[in-house]
Structure 1
Amino acid sequence: MVSYMLRRLLQLVPVLLGMTIIVFSIIHAIPGDPAETILGEKASKESKQALRLELGLDRPAAVQYFSYLGSLLRGDLGTSIRTKEPIAKEMKPYLAATLELTFVSMLIAVLFGVNAGILSAWRQNSWFDFTSMLIALIGVSMPVFWLGLMEQWLFSLKLQWLPSIGRVDVRDPVEAVTHLYIIDAFIAGRLDQVWTVIKHLILPGIALGTIPMAIIARMTRSSMLEVLRSDFIRTARAKGVSKFFVVYKHAFKNALIPVITVIGLQIGLLLGGAVLTETIFAWPGVGRYIYEAIASRDYPVIQSGILIIAFIFVMINLFVDLLYAAIDPRISYK
């Protein structure tokens, strides 16, 4: 197991190196001048040239890349062109906001998706099976931005049950320690703030978790149906084991491998694909942070942001691979 982990960690090096090259090449191929974006179109040529010299944008692309790579090896993500702040410090609250939203979204997706898939397989061809799979199909097909706007219209505007934007009530801000507001509110001993943070998470969490929930439900149902037809399930039933234990203890454990794989992939996709949800709900996440950096041609922020998301994605896949052995003892790593 340890040797496998070391091999996988070493495999991260060429993956992340290739990612930096691809991102650097694509970003520098985008038309536009960062100096003009920062100073404005009416800025003089002299001031634009001075800013290019200051930022190192006058140097050849290869020199800029290796300079950036050298900074990464020293643990320095660089400095934002737009704000002049260290990227590692500036990105921390944005990344925490996205992680918090992703966790809530996946909690909703896994809780409802897995159980819907199990019950659909258990009651195959029943009204519950047809209804849940129809809802799953609608969930996969429904645009996130439309669902988010409908949630705001119904639950915020009409019913006024839940807030429509932001992470917390601006009149009572959370004292940031970890920048994960639920944890920070607990640390401060403010249970009222915990409830406020949770209310702000519900609508974007549902909007972002709808598609993963539908995918997990369909995958769980498919995997469960295959396992429920196995000989050992028929043997367990013949021994008089209750249906609940047959389904949840025996069948689900053996159907879990593909479900875990899908969950891991969906977590990675949510980390990098939450831009629409974050925009609709004014959620200050890393997706919006990178989007704003793209609009202002802030190359260091774009490169560092994408690299961090890629690193997290790969680490999630590594964790999922290690879970396989814990779930299925027949799997071993040599």
Structure 2
Amino acid sequence: MISYTIRRLLLLIPVLIGMSLITFSIVHLIPGNPAQTILGEQATPQAIADLEERLGLNEPYFVQYGQYMLGLVQGDLGTSLRTNNSISQEMWPYLAATIELTIFAMIFAVIIGVNAGIISAWKQNSWFDYVSMLIALIGVSMPIFWLGLMQQWWFAQELGWLPAFGRENPRDPVISITNLNVLDSLLNGRLDQMWTSFKHLILPGIALGTIPMAIIARMTRSSMLEVLRSDYIRTIEAKGSKTFSVIYRHGFKNAVIPVLTVVGLQTGTLLGGAILTETIFSWPGIGRYVFEAIGNRDYPVIQSGILVIATMFVFINLIVDLLYSYIDPRIKY
């Protein structure tokens, strides 16, 4: 297991270098003078020259790339052109908000999707199977912006059960430690704030997790149907094993690999920033942060946002690969 992990980590090095090269080249792929594009057509020659000096655009390409990589190794993502603040410090609260929302959305998606898929496969062609797969089909097809607006109208406006916007009560803000509001509230000993932060997560988390939930349910059902028809499952059943043990202990363990793949891909996608969900619910996540940077032509922020999101996606795939080898030891050979 250790040697397999080391091999997988070594294979990440060329991938990460390739990603850094692609993200670094964004500015250089802009047609014309990058500094002119950033500042606009009305920029003076002196302003363009100053920006080129500030960004190092007057240096040779590989010198610029070397400086960029040196900054990345030191944890420096550069400086925002709009706010003149460190991108590393400025980005983390937005990234933490997206991580918190993604964790909630994926917990919801995995719990509902996996169990619905397992029961649908177990009760194939039953009313539960038809209803759950119909709901999964609707979940995949339903636009997130429509679902989010309906949630706000019904649960926030009509029933008044849940808040419709934001991450916290603006009159009682959470004291930031990790920028994960639910965790910070618990660390501060404020259970009331933790409950408030949790309620703010419910509507955007369900809206964001609906499509992954539907995909996971369909994949779980398909994978479980194949496993439940296997000879070894019939043998286990013939030995008198309990239904729960047959399905979850023996069946799902052998059907989990495709499901795990889908979970990893969906987690990486959600961490990339669900711009629609974050916009509808005024959630200050990484998607909105990068989207606003695009509108402001803040290319250092765009570069850093793409690099961070891509790096997280790569490491999620690494975790999934390691889980493969843990679940099925044959993989690492």
TM-score (norm. length: structure 2): 0.92
Structure 2 partner of 1:245: 245
Q: What do the CA deviations read for 1:84-141 (whole angstroms, capped 9, x no partner)? A: 1112111111111111000000000001000000010011011111111111111111
Structure 1 partner of 2:206: 206
Q: Which runs of 5+ in 1 are unaligned?
A: none
- Counterpart residue type for residue 333 of structure 1: K
User: Are 2:6 and 1:11 aligned?
Assistant: no
Shift of 1:55: 3.4
Structure 2 partner of 1:180: 180
Shift of 1:259: 1.0
Structure 2 partner of 1:196: 196
Separation in 1, partners of 2:154, 2:25: 44
User: Are 2:269 and 1:260 aligned?
Assistant: no
Shift of 1:310: 1.6
User: Are 2:332 and 1:333 aligned?
Assistant: yes
Structure 2 partner of 1:159: 159
Contact 1:37 1:296 in 2 (8 A): no
Question: For the structure 1 residues 37 and 288, does the alpha-carbon distance in structure 2 shift closer, same or farther, using more than 3 Å as the test?
Answer: farther
Q: What do the CA deviations read for 1:211-252 (whole angstroms, capped 9, x no partner)? A: 100110000000100010011111122222232221122211
Separation in 2, partners of 1:158, 1:118: 35
Contact 2:165 2:200 in 1 (8 A): yes
Separation in 2, partners of 1:155, 1:27: 44
Separation in 2, partners of 1:163, 1:46: 50
- Counterpart residue type for residue 119 of structure 2: L
Separation in 1, partners of 2:85, 2:37: 17
Separation in 2, partners of 1:58, 1:43: 17
Structure 1 partner of 2:299: 299
Contact 1:32 1:297 in 2 (8 A): no
Structure 1 partner of 2:125: 125
Shift of 1:142: 1.3
Shift of 1:22: 2.2
Aligned residues: 333
SS at match of 2:332: coil
Separation in 1, partners of 2:20, 2:37: 23
Question: For the structure 1 residues 192 and 138, does the alpha-carbon distance in structure 2 shift closer, same or farther, using more than 3 Å as the test?
Answer: same
User: Are 2:219 and 1:222 aligned?
Assistant: no
Tell which deviates more after alignment, 189-198 or 68-77. 68-77
SS at match of 2:176: coil
Separation in 1, partners of 2:82, 2:28: 16
Shift of 1:25: 3.0
Tell which deviates more after alignment, 168-177 or 142-151. 142-151
Separation in 2, partners of 1:311, 1:331: 27
- Counterpart residue type for residue 304 of structure 1: S
Structure 2 partner of 1:101: 101
Alignment of 1:317-332 (within 5 A): 317-328=317-328, 330-332=329-331
Contact 1:38 1:82 in 2 (8 A): no
Alignment of 1:231-242 (within 5 A): 231-242=231-242
SS at match of 2:308: helix
SS at match of 1:255: helix
Contact 2:24 2:68 in 1 (8 A): no
User: Are 2:276 and 1:272 aligned?
Assistant: no
Question: For the structure 1 residues 62 and 332, does the alpha-carbon distance in structure 2 shift closer, same or farther, using more than 3 Å as the test?
Answer: closer
Alignment of 1:75-154 (within 5 A): 75-154=75-154
Shift of 1:9: 1.5
Separation in 1, partners of 2:17, 2:42: 38
Structure 1 partner of 2:289: 289
Separation in 1, partners of 2:27, 2:275: 18
Separation in 2, partners of 1:66, 1:44: 29
**RMSD across aligned C-alpha pairs, in angstroms?**
2.2
TM-score (norm. length: structure 1): 0.92
- Counterpart residue type for residue 133 of structure 1: M
- Counterpart residue type for residue 319 of structure 1: I
Tell which deviates more after alignment, 30-39 or 82-91. 30-39
Q: Which runs of 5+ in 2 are unaligned?
A: none
Separation in 1, partners of 2:320, 2:50: 49
Shift of 1:51: 3.7
